Amino acid sequence: MRDVAARVGVSAMTVSRALKDDKRISPETRERVLAAVRELGYRRNEVARNLRLRRPSGMIGLVVTNLGNPFYSRLALGAEQVAEEHGLRLVLGNTAEQVQRERDLVEDLVSRRVDGIIVVPAGATHRHLGPASLGGTPVVFASRPPAGTEADTVLVDDFGGAREATAQLLAQGHRAVGFLGNPPALYTGAERFRGYWAAHEEAGLAPRDEWIRRGPHDIPTAEAAALDVLGRDYPPTALFCTNNRITLGAYRAVRRLGTDTALAGFDDFEMADMLGVPVTVVSYDAEEVGRQAARLLLDRIERAPDTPAGPPRRTVVPTSVVRYGA
């Protein structure tokens, strides 16, 4: 700012006032100041300025577990849309399901004084994301609920979507439906397995243990699990998969074995209708998960300091089932 002032031949205070559109500065002086700003490439340090003025940073954090999963990129797009509507910037971090990395990312965001944080949590307990640990920084959970603390949460109807997709397979005449899913410690994997099992109970059936694999987490591990299940003496005629990557791994196994195994899975994905085998998918608006989380967070941010926080809120984004192929 002093360089701009020296170039124009005014005081640093005049430069500051000109940048704030202060009416005490004449239009001619303001234009000279702005011209010097452009020539020198001056950029105001908004972070330092906000710290000095004790204003919010104008940023919100988003911490997810796997940026390689299209669900999280779409969630981020939804959150960013709402943030931009309110003049905020989104800062994104990826934990790779590592709790320590999550701790480090959240601590870094808090130290940068972000206005609030949306987090898809890793691990089984989330006390480090509670108010005492975050120094009052508002936090909203997305996709998975908090454990060991309380906070606003946005979830997908994991149980209902899995139950409906499995029920459709059973209604199509399949009496041997296998399950390929995330480890039971993962909330979404547990809820989707619960939906799969509930559909069987409602139909008066019980799936065999050898049809169930609760460990695959990506395409290669899902393919290996599907090959194992489908290679048995009495293989299932259909498979329910708990996310799009697991569905694609199962599809590779079906193609490799040349079977006509029907597939159903959580998460719609591009070209699902081009696989050449019947595929039933649980579809939902992942961007809406991000939008809802951002709206809850902004509501917390904008509350007056003396306003009671109120109880934590929970929103569930609905699902629908779509069938591709014959």
Structure confidence by residue, pLDDT tens digits, 155-206? 999 999 999 999 999 999 999 999 999 888 889 999 999 999 999 999 999 9
> Is the model's pTM score more than 0.95?
no
pLDDT at residue 7 tops 90: no
The 10s digit of each residue's pLDDT in 49-89 is: 554 544 467 899 999 998 888 899 999 999 999 999 999 99
Q: What is the largest CA-CA distance in the chain?
A: 89
Name 280's Cβ contacts closer than 8 Å, sequence gap at least 6. 165, 168, 169, 262, 263, 264, 265, 321, 322, 323, 324
Backbone angles phi, psi at 81, to 5 degrees: -60, -50
CATH superfamily of 158-283: Response regulator (3.40.50.2300)
Region 82-109: mean pLDDT is 94
CATH 3.40.50.2300 residue ranges of the chain are 56-156+287-316, 158-283
Domain 2-44 coded CATH 1.10.260.40: yes
Q: Could you tell me which of 165, 227, 226 has the C-alpha nearest to residue 191?
A: 165
Backbone angles phi, psi at 139, to 5 degrees: -135, 140
Instruction: For residue 243, count other CB atoms closer than 10 A to its CB.
Output: 26
CATH 1.10.260.40 residue ranges of the chain are 2-44
Region 259-285: mean pLDDT is 87
Lowest mean pLDDT among 11-15, 99-103, 239-243, 280-284: 11-15
Q: For strand 279-283 and strand 320-324, is the pairing parallel, antiparallel, or unpaired? A: antiparallel
Backbone angles phi, psi at 120, to 5 degrees: -95, 105
Helices 187-202 + 158-171 axis angle, to 10: 40
Q: Which pLDDT score is estimated for 54?
A: 45
Name 38's Cβ contacts closer than 8 Å, sequence gap at least 6. none
Query: Tokens in use for 18?
Result: 């000109």
Q: Which pLDDT score is estimated for 118?
A: 98
Query: Tokens in use for 219?
Result: 């395409």
Name 246's Cβ contacts closer than 8 Å, sequence gap at least 6. 180, 181, 182, 216, 217, 218, 219, 222, 265
Contact indicator for 292, 81 with CB cutoff of 8 Å? no
Region 287-312: mean pLDDT is 87
H/E segment holding residue 47:
helix 46-53
- Domain 56-156+287-316 fold: Rossmann fold (3.40.50)
Locus of tokens 């961007």: 287
The percentage of the chain sitting over the pLDDT mark of 70, rounded to a whole number, equals: 94
H/E segment holding residue 167:
helix 158-171
